[in-house]
Every structure is written in structure tokens, then in C-alpha cells.
């Protein structure tokens, strides 16, 4: 099969279009012919080697964390899917590889594609949808009437998190640029801070939850908008010791993450709030719940651009500019 391959870790390195062996089909796997693949900043960071400590892939390997396609084979233990099913997924770590023509995935990571979405639209959902769900519903335990600040509201995670938080019944604030104010308001944001005109920490206060996807300065400023007992959740780091323990990392790696997060954890305690690093995991059951919200019209995909398969490198370069509104998708078939 044709696939875009990382030959070695390199910052802004070029993926190589190669002929790769067909994926191995395990007993509880479905083999999916890929029709569309979402592109995420995570892909670029993995290519650059930023996640080697957490996700030590051995080159050559295929990138890509979002997929929509059609089941063409099933393993002997598969019970939830059959050949011909239209599905979408964010497969588990160490089994990624969407920038290709086929992929084998554990059936537990997969869900039926929302009936009201195209393949390209469906491929834009899994990683950001699961990130928003696990951060807001599971980690933050966000409830109706609470206040949440979602940074970078026009990005892939932000556009999904705003809609999910509004569905829950929270008051939603977000940060964005002037050009994207109307977009985030259309998704349900109650308070919009244009970062080109104002500093969010001077405008907002008394928030229950902050979902951060930006850098260190934004992370530390976010402490000031939380009320005592609030939760600061970051998907951009730094990783903390609890994350290391949850993932079974060794003592040395736990100490590294303890040092990396020492400053923000200390400042969080000073503000009487909690800090946690969050890295989403594959979950087909949660994706089914997201499907129900999409089919009910509570959540919609926000897409910026669709690239043809042969322009996968251009798609990655575009996502790295930080200018995408919503998701970037590759049409594979």
C-alpha cells in the first residue's frame, strides 16, 4: 500500500511516499480502507521527535491519528463490525498510521461514522472530539452552570470543546484572534477575548476550569482566572508525575516529569488550584457518544481545508502555521 513515512526524527522533516506492507490483522482488529485522514499538530510534533520520551516510535513509521473509511476485513474475534461498515476512529498509540491507504485497528477503538457526515468531515472529529470529551467530561467533571475558559477557540480542539461545554450547560469563555471572533461565537462561546486587543487574565475571573493548549506564558496566566479549587488542565504540557504513573513510566521518567512540571505545580498550589497534564486515549465507546451528539445536531465539525493525499506534506506544513480554523483533512481515496 502507499503511505507517507517518517524515515527519521527531524524538525520540519519531509515525509516520504513509500510502498509499505499491508497492515497485520490481529484477531480483534478491523482492517479499514482509508478514505480520509485528519491532520493534527501532534503529527508534526511526533515527526519532530518532541514526544520520543512518551511515544518512542521506531522509524520508519507511518504518521496520522484520525481516520474515516470502510471496513474491508475483520478478525475472527470481532463482533461489533462487519465488512462494508463506514467507521471512524483515533486508534491507540503505537498503532497509528492514517497517512496511508489501509490501517488495522482494535475494534474497541472504532465507532460507526455519523450518518450525517462525509468521510472528510468524520475524519476531522476523533482526536479533537475525544480530547474535548476526556478533558471536560472525565478530567474536569464540568457541570451545568460552571464557567470554563477554553484557549485557542478557533483551533481543532477549541472548536470542539466550545460546543461540548455549551451542550453540558457551562458558561464558555475563549481566546482567539480578531479574524475568528465570529466563528467562536457561532459555536456558542459566551465571552470572547481577542488576544490582539486584551489580556485574558485582566478580563476573566472566577472560572472553574481552564483548558490550555498553548505555551508556558498562557499556562501561568491562566492560574489568575481560576477560583480557589479550580482546575487547570493542559494538553500542551508540561507532563506531570501523575501522568507518568498512570502510564506506567519508570522511576527515571517520573522524576523527569516531576522536574518539568515543578514550577507550574508549585504556582498552582499557591493559587489553591489543581494542575494536570492530559493526553487523550483511544476510546470507541466515547466516540459513539460523540456520534450521538453529532447526529442530534449538538456538535458539528469545523473544517478549514481538505488536501489531496499526495499533498500530505503540504497539509502538515499548513497545520504548523497555526492559522487553521478548525481541522485540516487529507482525502486519501
CATH tag for 128-277 (out of 3.60.21.10, 3.40.50.720, 3.30.70.100, 3.50.50.60): 3.40.50.720
pLDDT value at position 80?
Answer: 97
Structural contact between residues 55 and 97, judged by C-beta atoms closer than 8 angstroms: no
What pLDDT is attached to residue 56?
Answer: 87
- 3.90.180.10, 3.30.1540.10, 3.30.930.10, 3.40.50.970: which CATH number matches 2-125+301-331? 3.90.180.10
Q: In a structure prediction context, what are the per-residue pLDDT tens digits for the chain, which is 333 residues long?
A: 999 999 999 999 999 999 999 999 999 999 999 999 999 999 999 999 998 888 889 999 999 999 999 999 999 999 999 999 999 999 999 999 999 999 999 999 999 999 999 999 999 999 999 999 999 999 999 999 999 999 999 999 999 999 999 999 999 999 999 999 999 999 999 999 999 999 999 999 999 999 999 999 999 999 999 999 999 999 998 999 999 998 899 899 999 999 999 999 999 999 999 999 999 999 999 999 999 999 999 999 999 999 999 999 999 999 999 889 999 999 998
- What pLDDT, on a 0 to 100 scale, did the predictor assign at position 225? 98
The pTM is what?
Answer: 0.96
> What was the pLDDT predicted at 220?
96
The DSSP result for 51-106, as a single string, is TTTTS---SSEE----EEEEEEEE-TT--S--TT-EEEE-PPTTS---SBSEEEEE
Q: Where are the domains of the chain?
A: 2-125+301-331, 128-277
Distance CA 42, CA 53 (A): 14
Amino acid at each position: 500500500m502507499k503511505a507517507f513515512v517518517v524515515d527519521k526524527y527531524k524538525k520540519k522533516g519531509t515525509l516520504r511516499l513509500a510502498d509499505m506492507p499491508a497492515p497485520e490483522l490481529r484477531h480483534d482488529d478491523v482492517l479499514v480502507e482509508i478514505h480520509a485522514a485528519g491532520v493534527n499538530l501532534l503529527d508534526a510534533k511526533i515527526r519532530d521527535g518532541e514526544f520520543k520520551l512518551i511515544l518512542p516510535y521506531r522509524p520508519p513509521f507511518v504518521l496520522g491519528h484520525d481516520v474515516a473509511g470502510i471496513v474491508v476485513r475483520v478478525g475472527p474475534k470481532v463482533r461489533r463490525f462487519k465488512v462494508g461498515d463506514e467507521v471512524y476512529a483515533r486508534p491507540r498509540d503505537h498503532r497509528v498510521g492514517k497517512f496511508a491507504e489501509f490501517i488495522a485497528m482494535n475494534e474497541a477503538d472504532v465507532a460507526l461514522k455519523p450518518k450525517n457526515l462525509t468521510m472528510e468531515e468524520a475524519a476531522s472529529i476523533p482526536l479533537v472530539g475525544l480530547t474535548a470529551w476526556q478533558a471536560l467530561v472525565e478530567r474536569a467533571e464540568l457541570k451545568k452552570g460552571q464557567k470554563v475558559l477554553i484557549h485557542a477557540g478557533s483551533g481543532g480542539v477549541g472548536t470542539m470543546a466550545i460546543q461540548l461545554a455549551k451542550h453540558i450547560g457551562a458558561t464558555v469563555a475563549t481566546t482567539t484572534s480578531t479574524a475568528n471572533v465570529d466563528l467562536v461565537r457561532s459555536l456558542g462561546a459566551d465571552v470572547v477575548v481577542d488576544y490582539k486587543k486584551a489580556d485574558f487574565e485582566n478580563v476573566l475571573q472566577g472560572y472553574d476550569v481552564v483548558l490550555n493548549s498553548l505555551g508556558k506564558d498562557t499556562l501561568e496566566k491562566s492560574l489568575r482566572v481560576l477560583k480557589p479549587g479550580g482546575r487547570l488542565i493542559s494538553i500542551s504540557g508540561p507532563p506531570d508525575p501523575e501522568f507518568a504513573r498512570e502510564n506506567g513510566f519508570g522511576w527515571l521518567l517520573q522524576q523527569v516529569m516531576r522536574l518539568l512540571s515543578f514550577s507550574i505545580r508549585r504556582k498552582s498550589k499557591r493559587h489553591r488550584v489543581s494542575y494536570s497534564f492530559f493526553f487523550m486515549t483511544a476510546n470507541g465507546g466515547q466516540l459513539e457518544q460523540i456520534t450521538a451528539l453529532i447526529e442530534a445536531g449538538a456538535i458539528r465539525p469545523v473544517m478549514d481545508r481538505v488536501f489531496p493525499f499526495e499533498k500530505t506534506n503540504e497539509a502538515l506544513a499548513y497545520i504548523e502555521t497555526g492559522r487553521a480554523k478548525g481541522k485540516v483533512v487529507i482525502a486519501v481515496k
